[in-house]
Structure 1
Amino acid sequence: MDTDAQPPVVLFVDDEPSILSALRRLVRPQGYRVLLASGGAEGLALLAQEPVDVVVSDMRMPEMDGAAFLEKVHQSFPQVGRILLTGYADIQTTVAAVNLGQIQRYIAKPWDDRELLGAIEDSISRRRLALQNQALLALTARQNEELAALNEDLTKRVRARTQELEQVNAMLERSFSEAQENFLLSIQVFSGLMELREGGLVGYSRQVADLARRSARHLGLSQRQQEDLHIAGLLHEIGKIGLPDSLLHKPVSVMNADDLARYRRHPLNGEAALLPLAELQHVARLVRWQHERIDGHGFPDGLSAEALPLDAQVLSAVSDYCSALSGRLAEQRYSPAQAVQLIRGGAGTRYEHDVVEALQKALAEAPQDQAHERHLGAHEIQPGMVLSRDLITPKGTLLLAAGHVFDARMVRQIREFANREGAKLTFSVRIDEEAAKASAPVGPETSTPQAA
């Protein structure tokens, strides 16, 4: 049945004929079909015969009061709207009607015409909406049955296609991961080559990079910021490539005015060298700001306070600490304790206090557990093993970076190189417990992780 084509049906129940007449006159202009009942029993009989949208019942009626009547309506015809007309003295029975009959509205007598008409209209709307929802649910159920058969075949096709896409995605992820690893390895190799310059220190940049990343972790910086700081640590001295060897020898404390002017351009030169690489835009900024101070007395931009990001402050503090240890700041090399005191003295002027605390926490970290580290020769390396330490030549050239995962191709190339050149290579690898049990005992000649 199309409920919208039928006029709404309202049932009034009251034992007073004058009240029933007044109610009928009230709703007549609304175009409703009106049913009248003088008591609860008569009202229930009409409900059993007629499709009623809403019932309006008086509270005080003989034999069956409004609360009992509406309770029966709720039990037998739950979708019919229920409105109670009640006097002010009937509050307790009104509460009972609300609880038992689940009435939608109760209106005090004498009623306000607009309030009552509004309540009836709202109840009719709810009733019609419920009927429409039922029809839609039935239609949906039929449609779902028809779609189920189609979906079964479609599901099979989607499953097959999904498996294909998963395989492709896995290949792309592996390729992307390899590209990222190769990119980082290239940076590490380039960093090692820079340290071959006269005046360079083997492993200095990797020390800065590792300490900067660990400090950033203690500071709560994001994973991306930690990764950018690691790369910035590896490349923070790239701008010094153009400096003469004599200047690279000089600690900052003994540089003259001309030397300082040339030295202070290395952050700008470093940024310029990195800016063409889209992946290193923020790294380039960190390289530029490595000598900035929060008091505004740094260079090249004189940034201060909140204008100087925390990650740039981390790079500054770590590079100052490592420079103090290596003799790059002064002619006299600092001890670790003196270098820490130097950094603490810069808290509040060079770096935020939180940055200094994070650096101290990174320095205080216990050495990494190496219980499952093994030192293996070239012919003992197996695919899937992970390099636990950088593999470097005695001159400091990086061959493979820590974290590199050996695949079959690399294992084959290593063995061919060892056979061809007769070189003795020693690899420190990190393997799981099961692989550790299966590994052969390590001989005394493989106790030092370096390449000959």
Structure 2
Amino acid sequence: MTTTELQEPPVAEANEGQLVVPTVLTVDDEPSVLSALRRVFRVQGIKTLQATSAAEGLILLETNHVDMVISDMRMPEMDGARFLEKVRAHDESIVRILLTGYADISSTVAAINKGAIHRYIAKPWDDQDLVLAVREALVRRGLEKKNAELTELTKQQNEQLRDVNQTLESRVAARTSELQQINGMLDAAYEDLNNTFLHAVNVFSSLLEMRGGQSGHSRRVAEISQETAKQLAMSERDVRDVYLAALVHDIGTIGFPDAMLGKPISTFTAEEHQRYRRHPIDGETALMTMSQLQGVARIVRQHHERWDGKGFPGGVSASDIVLGARIVAAASDLDDMLHGCMGNQRYTMDAAKKMLIGGVDTRYDRTVVETMLKVVDDMASAAKADVQLDVRDLRPGMVLARAMVSSKGATLLAAGHVFDERMVRQVQGFSMREGVRLSLWVQRKPDASEADAAEAQGSEK
């Protein structure tokens, strides 16, 4: 076995700026064949390793980097076909060429069919054909090797990209979850702030009524106005504005002298009438500085306007009057008639309804009156189902059916308030501290049969 390394310019591919010299292992039991092969490859600048048997060839494979193996077919102990199969098992990327004579053609075909060799070259060979075959095989091996490297690189990059995407997805999911939590907290904070704001307006409205002597008027007007606005399909924001405007629609009377407070309008003097007709403007002025109450301020200004244009303070008519003001006007007059604030007598519900109907197309919007009368009937029917209970029996989740008022008529909690644990403790604590036995009206929850019937009815619809 001999080894030859050549100094001539090698036939090789560039690798990071350096030439890589290909190595060919030649195996033949005839030294003269090995010498001939060595001379051919020396001229081409190809490094050769030589072995005189398959066993020696396998040893060289274990200790050297080999790009190609050229083996004779007829060798003692192990023929070339079997030897090249072992080469393939050692490293499938090594190019395998079989030197064979004409008599070995059947064995050669069998070796090719098994996939053990890339090609065969018949003896005796032509040097030029041999060089071309070797060059072609080495180029193909280089391309295959490069393709394998690129494939592996692509695989690694894809794995890295997948890891990056998974990391990015995790970050996005974490950020999304964080934003959802923040939004949830903001929504809860906004809801709490909104509830606090509504409660503050209720308290302020009650304070106004305590001075004016019309206990519960604004609260009752607000409840009827709110339900009417809902039935008229107003937006959630507009329904809120109607409710708040109804609570503070008489805020302009805060500057009235004591002699005018609680006095029926029909008994006002000319000077008192003049002052009374200005209170919608004073109310708007008091509210318009708050951005949240711009819509409320406009309703307050127009709640004494009439459908026929004979109202005050602007004399506007019909649809030029905002819908919220048309609702509050009718609701306020209805409550005034029922509680004796419009004249010296109180009207029955039936009589008050007839008065409203009689004012349609002059004082009131027909659609508003028709809707409001239905709302009043529905509220009366719903009130029959309300449950009165002692404050000690109050539980979280219960809904206040009727406004909770103080002994002086001030609204403490508006109808529709949903009790949570904190409010339950506060109300019960107030009752114990003041020694006042409070009873509340809450909405009755339907029993199981009623709930099932309601659900079935909804499904039919």
Q: 5+ residue gaps in structure 2?
A: 1-156, 449-461
**Distance in 1 (alpha carbons) for counterparts of 2:316 and 2:294:** 18
Contact 2:226 2:240 in 1 (8 A): yes
Contact 2:399 2:419 in 1 (8 A): yes
Report SS of the residue matched to 1:170: helix
Distance 1:195 1:168, change over 3 A: same
Comparing 337-346 and 281-290, the one that deviates more = 337-346
- Structure-2 residue corresponding to 1:53: none
Contact 2:202 2:412 in 1 (8 A): no
Deviation of residue 192 (structure 1)?
Answer: 1.2
Distance 1:425 1:338, change over 3 A: closer
TM-score of the pair, normalised by structure 1: 0.58
Q: Does 1:164 align with 2:170?
A: no
Opposite residue 381 of structure 2, the aligned amino acid is P
Q: Pairwise mapping of residues 37-436 of structure 1 onto structure 2 (< 5 A)? A: 149-198=163-212, 200-365=213-378, 366-368=380-382, 373=387, 375-378=389-392, 380-430=393-443
Distance 1:241 1:402, change over 3 A: same
Contact 1:294 1:348 in 2 (8 A): yes
Deviation of residue 422 (structure 1)?
Answer: 3.8
**Distance in 2 (alpha carbons) for counterparts of 1:417 and 1:188:** 18
Opposite residue 211 of structure 2, the aligned amino acid is R
Identity of aligned residues (%): 44
Deviation of residue 266 (structure 1)?
Answer: 1.0
Q: 5+ residue gaps in structure 1?
A: 1-142, 436-452
**Distance in 1 (alpha carbons) for counterparts of 2:386 and 2:376:** 23
Distance 1:340 1:373, change over 3 A: closer
**Distance in 1 (alpha carbons) for counterparts of 2:347 and 2:431:** 41
* CA offsets 1:112-138 (integer angstroms, 9 cap, x no match): xxxxxxxxxxxxxxxxxxxxxxxxxxx
Deviation of residue 301 (structure 1)?
Answer: 0.7
Deviation of residue 293 (structure 1)?
Answer: 1.4
Distance 1:329 1:373, change over 3 A: closer
Opposite residue 297 of structure 2, the aligned amino acid is A
Opposite residue 228 of structure 1, the aligned amino acid is D
Contact 2:385 2:443 in 1 (8 A): no
- Structure-2 residue corresponding to 1:82: none
Opposite residue 333 of structure 1, the aligned amino acid is R
Deviation of residue 314 (structure 1)?
Answer: 1.2
Deviation of residue 431 (structure 1)?
Answer: 7.4
Distance 1:351 1:405, change over 3 A: closer
Deviation of residue 367 (structure 1)?
Answer: 2.4
Distance 1:219 1:421, change over 3 A: closer
Deviation of residue 285 (structure 1)?
Answer: 0.7
Bigger-Rg structure (1/2): 2
**Distance in 1 (alpha carbons) for counterparts of 2:365 and 2:404:** 36
**Distance in 2 (alpha carbons) for counterparts of 1:206 and 1:425:** 19
Matched residue count: 291
Distance 1:170 1:275, change over 3 A: same
- Structure-1 residue corresponding to 2:83: none
**Distance in 2 (alpha carbons) for counterparts of 1:371 and 1:166:** 40
**Distance in 1 (alpha carbons) for counterparts of 2:444 and 2:377:** 26
Opposite residue 219 of structure 1, the aligned amino acid is L
Distance 1:303 1:145, change over 3 A: farther
Report SS of the residue matched to 1:196: helix
Report SS of the residue matched to 1:375: strand
Report SS of the residue matched to 2:389: strand
In angstroms, what is the RMSD of aligned CA positions? 2.8
Deviation of residue 167 (structure 1)?
Answer: 1.6
Opposite residue 406 of structure 1, the aligned amino acid is F
Distance 1:290 1:160, change over 3 A: same
Deviation of residue 206 (structure 1)?
Answer: 0.9
Distance 1:144 1:317, change over 3 A: farther
Contact 2:222 2:243 in 1 (8 A): yes
Report SS of the residue matched to 2:342: coil
Report SS of the residue matched to 1:351: coil
Report SS of the residue matched to 2:211: coil
Contact 2:306 2:315 in 1 (8 A): yes
Contact 2:404 2:415 in 1 (8 A): yes
* CA offsets 1:82-133 (integer angstroms, 9 cap, x no match): xxxxxxxxxxxxxxxxxxxxxxxxxxxxxxxxxxxxxxxxxxxxxxxxxxxx
**Distance in 2 (alpha carbons) for counterparts of 1:327 and 1:415:** 34
Contact 2:245 2:299 in 1 (8 A): yes
Contact 1:376 1:429 in 2 (8 A): no
**Distance in 2 (alpha carbons) for counterparts of 1:420 and 1:217:** 39
Deviation of residue 403 (structure 1)?
Answer: 3.2
**Distance in 2 (alpha carbons) for counterparts of 1:320 and 1:149:** 71
**Distance in 2 (alpha carbons) for counterparts of 1:408 and 1:332:** 44
